[in-house]
Amino acid sequence: MIVYHGGTDIVSVPKILDTFTGRDFGNGFYTTDIREQAIKWARRQARHRNKTEAVLNSYEIDDTILRTLNAKAFDGYSMEWLEFVVNCRSDAAFSHNYDVVIGKIANDDVGETVQAVIDGLMPKDFAMSRLAFMHANNQICFSTQNSIIHLQFITAEKVN
């Protein structure tokens, strides 16, 4: 399987950065199996960081290895997905024991709904009814060193 990471740098050796709360699936190295989504993210990061170059990194991972890792796959938006994302985004002490987490991304519209739940402005059941009508892209978060070592760098290309 080919996965992509969009940003402003060539990342030939992926790393898990312990950055901050606010990420959908916690700390990890985020990828997607949707090339166009990664390109859009790379361009967005370049604008946001005032960089002149947007970079699309491509990796290969063997599907059979994914099946041997401790993985959590969310099938669309669900109450379980919402609670997981709320915990990851709002609680610096929250951690999970998954090597890989696969699921829908909380893009801008979805992120606003999740934030409203975090802020106590929207009940979870109402948030779920809103999420049912929102388009979502995929993300694959490699959360442990045990998972990230299986990503084989293919190439990096400028996508300005």
pLDDT one-digit tens code per residue, 29-73: 999 999 999 999 999 999 999 999 999 999 999 988 888 999 999
Q: Which residues of 49-77 are buried (b: 16+ CB within 10 A; e: fewer)?
A: eeeeebbbbbbebeeeebeebeebebeeb
To the nearest 10 degrees (0 to 180), the angle between helices 79-90 and 124-131 is: 110
Average pLDDT, the chain: 91
- Rounded to two decimals, what is the model's pTM? 0.90
* pLDDT of residue 20 exceeding 70: no
151 backbone dihedrals φ, ψ, rounded to 5°: -80, 120
* pLDDT in the model for residue 120: 94
C-alpha triplet 17, 18, 24: angle, nearest 5°: 90
Using CA atoms, how far residue 153 sits from 2, 45, 56, 61, 142, in Å, is 10, 20, 11, 9, 14
* pLDDT in the model for residue 105: 82
Of the candidate ranges 11-20, 93-102, 120-129, the one whose mean pLDDT is the lowest: 11-20
Separation between Cα atoms, residue 50 and residue 149, nearest integer Å: 31
Across the beta sheet with 2-7, the strand order is: 2-7, 55-60, 152-158
* pLDDT in the model for residue 19: 66
* pLDDT of residue 108 exceeding 90: no
Query: For 104-111, what is the mean pLDDT?
Result: 78
Q: Which helix (H) or strand (E) holds 113?
A: helix 108-118
| Higher-confidence position of 18 and 82 | 82
* pLDDT in the model for residue 69: 95
